[in-house]
Structure 1
């Protein structure tokens, strides 16, 4: 149904803002992250936007979910409060490439967790699920948005 492949993710340094609450509401936090970097003249140095999702929304009530709205940052870029520096270790990940509006991501998640992982004989490892946004929602029609859902594997 969706293309999935296994990829070795490289370690990443991120400038991030914490988001509490429903994952679907993280867009405003991404806006704040970008605004802070823009005000500091650093947005042009930043890489792609990355969502970091620490909890399982099936097991955790929406009010208790926590995530980060992040942007990949080069080592030379200063990260100062209210932004926090996060480092992702990288490693082996199942990567589902989804094209379409963010409202369709829930179906992609159901597919990778309920269908693909069991069929492939893979097991999710500890660590967050990340979303890598390959194009910007402000500049791209919603049906052309490309999101990579990256699930850490054992």
Structure 2
């Protein structure tokens, strides 16, 4: 695996929490978009981040927690299901996945069971995240680009 060690800066995020199977997290993205569109918070440099809080190998699918997030300006406030939070950033192992989102489960498995033990690095007790680099509504699944970030000490 071609994994880069990168430092990710702090960010202010608007987030919607999904509880349930990760494959159904698109509902959170729909809610976040429905909130964001009328507010005009989508800017050319907006980043789209998804945080997977739980290991699907140890947590029942019905209890998995996922946060669909986008970067927002300092003056944006949350409301309803949309919470605004600060992301501190830090050091991460970053892997670029090209292809459908359903391939991400294997990417996480390989990162945590193969790359991480061989790297000599230790994970930080924080959730990994994905950064979507292109629009899933206008990009063929085989052309989707997703950066997977795992937190490192």
TM-score, L = length of structure 2: 0.93
Counterpart residue number, 1:68: 67
Counterpart residue number, 2:4: 5
Counterpart residue number, 1:123: 122
Residue 89 (structure 1) aligned with residue 83 (structure 2): no
State the shift of 1:45 in Å.
Answer: 7.0
Q: Confirm or deny: 8 A CA contact 2:19 2:63 kept in the other structure.
A: yes
Counterpart residue number, 1:79: 78
Looking at structure 2, the residues matched to 40 and 75 of structure 1 have their Cα atoms a distance apart, in angstroms, of: 14
Query: Which portions of structure 1, spanning 4 or more consecutive aligned residues, are displaced by more than 4 angstroms?
Result: none
State the shift of 1:40 in Å.
Answer: 2.5
Looking at structure 2, the residues matched to 124 and 37 of structure 1 have their Cα atoms a distance apart, in angstroms, of: 33
Q: Confirm or deny: 8 A CA contact 2:93 2:152 kept in the other structure.
A: yes
Looking at structure 1, the residues matched to 81 and 18 of structure 2 have their Cα atoms a distance apart, in angstroms, of: 12
Q: Confirm or deny: 8 A CA contact 1:45 1:73 kept in the other structure.
A: no
- Residue 86 to residue 45, structure 1, CA distance change in 2 (3 Å): farther
Which segment is superposed worse, 77-86 or 114-123?
Answer: 77-86
Which segment is superposed worse, 69-78 or 26-35?
Answer: 69-78
**RMSD (CA atoms):** 1.5
CA displacement 1:9-31 (0-9 Å, x = unmatched) = 11111101110011111112101
State the shift of 1:3 in Å.
Answer: 2.1
CA displacement 1:21-70 (0-9 Å, x = unmatched) = 11111112101101111123333477121101111211111111111111
Q: Confirm or deny: 8 A CA contact 1:45 1:74 kept in the other structure.
A: no
Counterpart residue number, 1:39: 38
